[in-house]
């Protein structure tokens, strides 16, 4: 009896096994419509009859190389692009001539300033110091200036390290020191950016009214601001035309740096370049055609690539302008630094460089605020 049960069970198991094997085999069999060679299956996996398939590997990989986008099931849809083709152009530009030119622009500016200093020397207060001062910038104005200035200097140093550190600093201090230093500077760059934006906003609110161009600016510019010729002092109000150029460069450049920097801090969320180019195209300015690049819309990765290039170019332009600004505010001109140091400048300095402003202050002082008149220096 036991032997009978065992053989029945065995037969059932054999049947199950046989069915499973048959299923597995049927799932790998070619479909009925499959083409087979005479009496059998395709030879060596080749398409029978030497026919070409309707898709070629070369074309497929060419499309991938040119950035074709496929579908991915993961949340990061950017991964659907296997090869982001424009990235190669971006890399070649960034690692190639672009940063060389930016570096040359900064070096060139420093050389020009050194040559100017060698020829012109320090611009002195021609009539000598009066020993009497006049209030030029209030505490809030100086606080706004230094918040903007010091944060810009930190951003410039840390930003230059991001761009040139591996080429210039790494070989000097070695990997062990460069790693932590570069990490610290990168974090500083991210956070100090907010202090710069605040300083920029304060300076904008405090000084915009005095930086609207007027007729005296034209005369100032025509006379080269008196910078080139001794004894020439074109009249100017609180800010002369040169300072207005610095002011507007800092405001427009600073805003542009802030926007592109923001997009780098919070990546893949903005389409500023596509939007701007489309807007400019409406007024007949075809920026992509001028630059020889594809027209919008751009992928979020392309937007990031534009951002890094623009951010670096604007930063270097501003660094060059600020080199000139720091030069004239320190060694280039006697008495200038006091304006942002103590806030009080020598009366003769003020009369030589901002004669119309001194008249305004003296007039206002004699009319309304007798205390605003020049004070003897301590």
Q: Which is nearer to ligand HEM, 69 or 338 (CB)?
A: 338
Angle, CA of 46, 26 and 52, to the nearest 5° = 20
Please name the residue ranges forming H helices in 208-240. Answer: 215-222
The one among 247, 273, 298, 357 contacting ligand HEM by CB under 6 A: 247
Decide whether 162 or 326 has the Cβ nearer to ligand HEM.
Answer: 326
The torsion region of residue 224 among left (phi > 0), alpha (psi -120 to 50) and beta comes to: left
**Per-residue x/- track, 330-349, ligand HEM (CB under 6 A):** x-----xx-xx---------
In the structure encoding, which two tokens stand for residue 75, read together? Answer: 């949340």
- Is 316 a residue that touches ligand HEM (CB under 6 A)? no
Binding mask 216-245 for ligand HEM (x = CB under 6 A): -----------------------x---x--
For 296, the token pair is 């919008």
Distance CA 216, CA 233 (A): 12
Strand pairing category for 344-346 and 132-135: antiparallel
Using CB under 6 A as the criterion, what x/- string covers residues 24-63 for binding ligand HEM?
A: ----------------------------------------
Stretch of 33-41, 144-152, 229-237, 294-302 lying at the interface with ligand HEM (CB under 6 A):
144-152
Q: Sign of the C-alpha dihedral, residues 265, 267, 273, 278?
A: negative
Site for ligand HEM in 69-128 (CB under 6 A): none
Nearer to ligand HEM, 185 or 246 (CB): 246
Enclosing H/E stretch for 134: strand 132-135
Type and span of the H or E element at 133 = strand 132-135
Q: Tokens for 94?
A: 């960034």
* The Cα angle at residue 260 between residues 256 and 265, in degrees rounded to 5: 140
Should residue 148 be labelled a site residue for ligand HEM when binding is judged by CB under 6 A?
Answer: yes
Q: Is residue 53 a contact partner of residue 35, using CB atoms and an 8 Å limit? A: no
In whole angstroms, how close is the CB of 292 to ligand HEM at the nearest point? 33
325 touching ligand HEM, by CB under 6 A: yes
Considering only 235, 329, 343, 365, the residue that binds ligand HEM (CB under 6 A) is 329
Q: Is 311 near ligand HEM (CB under 6 A)?
A: no
- Applying CB under 6 A, which residues contact ligand HEM? 136, 145, 148-149, 152-153, 203, 239, 243, 246-247, 250, 322, 325-326, 329-330, 336-337, 339-340
């Amino acid at each position: 009896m036991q032997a009978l049960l065992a053989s029945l069970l065995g037969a059932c198991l054999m049947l199950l096994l046989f069915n499973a094997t048959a299923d597995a085999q049927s799932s790998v069999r070619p479909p009925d419509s499959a083409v087979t060679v005479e009496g059998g299956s395709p030879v060596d996996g080749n398409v029978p009859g030497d026919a070409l398939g309707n898709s070629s590997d070369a074309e497929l990989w060419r499309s991938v190389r040119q950035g074709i986008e496929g579908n991915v099931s993961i949340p990061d849809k950017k991964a659907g692009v296997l090869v982001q083709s424009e990235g190669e152009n971006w890399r070649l530009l960034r690692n190639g001539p672009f940063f060389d030119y930016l570096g040359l622009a900064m070096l060139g500016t420093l050389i020009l300033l050194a040559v100017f200093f060698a020829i012109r020397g320090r611009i002195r207060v021609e009539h000598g110091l009066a020993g009497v001062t006049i209030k030029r910038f209030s505490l809030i104005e100086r606080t706004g200036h230094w918040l903007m200035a010091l944060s810009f200097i930190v951003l410039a140093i840390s930003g230059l390290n991001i761009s040139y550190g591996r080429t210039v600093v790494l070989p000097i201090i070695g990997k062990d020191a460069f790693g932590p230093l570069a990490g610290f500077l990168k974090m500083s760059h991210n956070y100090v950016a907010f202090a710069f934006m605040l300083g920029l906003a304060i300076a904008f609110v405090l000084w915009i009214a005095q930086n609207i161009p007027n007729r005296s600016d034209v005369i100032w510019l025509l006379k080269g601001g008196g910078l080139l010729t001794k004894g020439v002092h074109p009249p100017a109000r609180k800010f002369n035309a040169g300072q207005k150029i610095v002011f507007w460069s800092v405001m427009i450049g600073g805003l542009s740096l802030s926007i592109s920097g923001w997009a780098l801090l919070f990546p893949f969320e903005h389409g500023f370049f596509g939007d701007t180019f489309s807007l400019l195209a409406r007024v007949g300015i075809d920026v992509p055609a001028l630059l020889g690049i594809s027209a919008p819309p751009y992928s979020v990765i392309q937007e990031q690539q534009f951002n890094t290039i623009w951010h670096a170019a604007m930063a270097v332009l501003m660094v060059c302008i600020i080199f000139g600004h720091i030069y004239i505010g320190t060694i280039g001109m006697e008495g200038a630094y006091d304006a942002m140091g103590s806030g009080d400048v020598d009366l003769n300095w003020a009369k030589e460089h901002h004669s119309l402003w001194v008249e305004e202050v003296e007039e206002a002082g004699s009319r309304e605020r007798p205390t605003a008149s020049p004070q003897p220096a301590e």
